[in-house]
Every structure is written in C-alpha cells, then in structure tokens.
Amino acid sequence: MNFYRLDARADQIASALGADTNGDVWGGGDVAPGQYAPVVIRGQDGVRRMVPRQWGVPPPPRGEHVVTAVRNLASPFWIGTLRHTQFRCLVPVTRYLEGGSRPGAGAPRWFSLPSAPIFAFAGIWRDSEVASFAVLTTEANGPAARNRPGTMPVILHPEDYGLWLSGDWKLARRLAAPFPSQLMHCEPGRPTAL
C-alpha cells in the first residue's frame, strides 16, 4: 500500500478519532510516500492530538529509500519504537489503494470501511531527521490478498485506538492482525492524483 485518501477536514478527523485538532488545517486529499499528512498521537497528558508528519521514516544505515511500512515487528529497527507508547500513532484514512504496481498484484482496488467513513491504521512515528511516520502491516485478508499478495495495513477497530496508543506492547501487538474482510468494501480504482 503506497497510496491512501483522507477525504475529511481536520475537525471531522479529530471527532472520529477522539482527538484535538491541535491547530491542524488538513482539508482532505491524497497521501503518498514523502507527503505530509495528519496522524494522531497521545500526549504526555493523555490527550490525543493531531500532528503533521511525513509518510516515510528515514531508512536504516544501509537503506536507500524511506520506509513506509512496518512489516517485521521484531526487527531491531522497529522494536524500540513499538515498545514505547509515545511513538505509536493513529493514521487516519478514508480509503486506501492496493494492487497494480507489483508483479502478481491484481488491478488497483480501493478499500474502505462502510461502517466508518474515517478509520485508522496502526502507525508509529519518529522525530529524528524529519517528523515522519510508517504504517504497520500484517498478513492480507481474502480480498486484500487477491490484490496484493502478502500484506495489508493494520486497520484498527475504534475500540482498540486506546490500546494501540497507550497499551503495553504485549497486548498492543495482538492488534497487528488482518481486519475482517466482511467489514470492508472494495471497488476498482486508481490514484486520483499524484
């Protein structure tokens, strides 16, 4: 997954995810690697706040490209970040695109949640060279696997937002599971703009 849409204003996102807009002025649009988009973090005071972050964490020392997805939850590159709740975030989304760009991938398809016009991926953020974020991925469910064999973003149920943002890692890591396919909608698509 290297493209998603967030067709909502900052106030709508904040309301859906139980956050303060924190002055964010997001007006809606496309998000691709290297672009800034709002994420929701939990402050030291326990308040959820929207903050802008660039999609794509700077690579490890021998890497060449920014890292947009957290695939290996036990990787030394990620484990410290994942264990510390202050570096976990919610990545708000209205729909995301899978397929079309890799060998074996099906035609591009948009995935959304009919019951939640605004939903969230599990994410992590870093503030080293640039304030950035990456999205956790997991094994793909049926419809997602047909479009992109292997992985899909970790989609959180709203009742799990708090656990992701502030729960012990031993409990929070259990959220990295395929989202139930019967709760998802899939339709043909392609990026709207880049």
**Please, are residues 91 and 133 in contact by the beta-carbon 8 Å criterion?**
yes
Is residue 155 situated within a structural domain? no
pTM: 0.93
Is residue 50 situated within a structural domain? yes
Is residue 140 situated within a structural domain? yes
Going by pLDDT thresholds of 50, 70 and 90, the confidence category of residue 63 is confident
Domain that holds residue 131: 4-150+160-188
User: What's the CATH number where 26 sits?
Assistant: 3.90.1680.10
The region of weakest confidence among 4-13, 110-119, 182-191 is 182-191
Is residue 119 situated within a structural domain? yes
Q: What is the pLDDT of residues 64-119, one digit of tens each?
A: 889 999 999 999 999 999 999 999 999 999 999 987 666 556 788 899 999 999 99
Closest CA to 186 of 114, 129, 90, 135: 114
**Total domains in the fold of the chain:** 1
Going by pLDDT thresholds of 50, 70 and 90, the confidence category of residue 19 is very high
Is residue 194 situated within a structural domain? no
Is residue 37 situated within a structural domain? yes
Tell me the two tokens of residue 143. Answer: 């419809």
Q: What are the φ/ψ torsions at residue 165 (nearest 5 degrees)?
A: -75, -30
